[in-house]
Amino acid sequence: MRSISIEGKSREELGTKSAKNLRREGMVPCVIYGAGQNIHFYTDSRNFKDILYTAEALLVVVNIDGTEYKCVVRDSQFHPVSSEVEHVDFFQITDGKPFEAIVPVNLVGNSRGVRNGGKLKFTLRRVKVLGTEENMPGMIDLNIENLRIGQTLRIKDLNTEGYEILGEPTRTIVAVRTSRNAVDDADEEEEGEGEEGTEAAAEETAEA
C-alpha cells in the first residue's frame, strides 16, 4: 500500500458553526479515531485530490502540529449539490496490528467472452480487506483473460496472499453475460484448431 503525507491543524472549536467557517476558508474538518481518544483536526481541501480521487487505497500519514498519525480513510462526506468534500473520517493504524481497509479490484486483460460478443458485468469494484501495513494491497488484480460467456469470478477467486478478504466468498465480482451478438466460445477453439491444422499440413507438404 502506497503512502501519502498531509499536514493538518488541531481544531480548538468543534460544532456546526466552526465546521462551516472552516469550509468557507477551503478547509475540511476531519477526525482520527481507532487508537484511544478521537483527534479532531482540519486540513486543506486540496489534499484530498490525491486521496479520495484515486484508483488505489492509500496509507495516509497525517502530521498534526508535529505529531504523525498513520491512517486509512474510513468514511467521507460530500456536499449534495457541489460534491465538495465536507468531512473525512480517518482510522488510525498500529504497527504490526491488522486493520480493515476498502481496496479496489483491478480487472486485468480482455475477457475471452467479451471478445466473443458477451457483456462484461463488473458488480463488486471494492472489497474489504484485513491485513497489516506491510501486507495491505493498494489494489487487487484479477485476471479475466480466460473468462468465458456464462462464467463468473467471485471473492474466493481473488489472491489473498498475506491478507484476508472479508465478505461472502461466493459473492460475484465480475461475470460475462450473453448478448444478441455473442458467439459460441467453441467457435474460437475450432478456429484456432483449424489454423493449427492448416499450418501442420503446410509444414508436411514443405518437408515432402
Which position has the higher pLDDT, 189 or 46?
46
**DSSP states along 24-85:** HTTEEEEEEESSSS-EEEEEEGGGGGTTTSSSS--EEEEEETTEEEEEEEEEEEE-TTT--E
Q: For domain 3-93, give the CATH superfamily.
A: Ribosomal Protein L25; Chain P (2.40.240.10)
Query: Is the pTM here over 0.85, yes or no?
Result: no
Element (H, E) at 106: strand 99-108
- pLDDT tens digits along 45-55: 999 998 998 88
* CATH of the domain spanning 101-186, picked from 3.40.50.2300, 2.170.120.20, 3.30.420.40, 3.40.50.300: 2.170.120.20
Query: Which regions of the chain carry the CATH code 2.170.120.20?
Result: 101-186
> What local confidence, expressed as pLDDT, does residue 186 receive?
59
- What is the tens place of the pLDDT at every residue in 26-37? 999 999 998 888
Return residue ranges of the chain for CATH 2.40.240.10: 3-93
Grid coordinates belonging to 59? 496509507
Q: Which residue has the cell 463488473?
A: 122
Say which residue, 123 or 197, is predicted with more confidence.
Answer: 123
AA identity, residue 65: D
184, pLDDT greater than 90: no
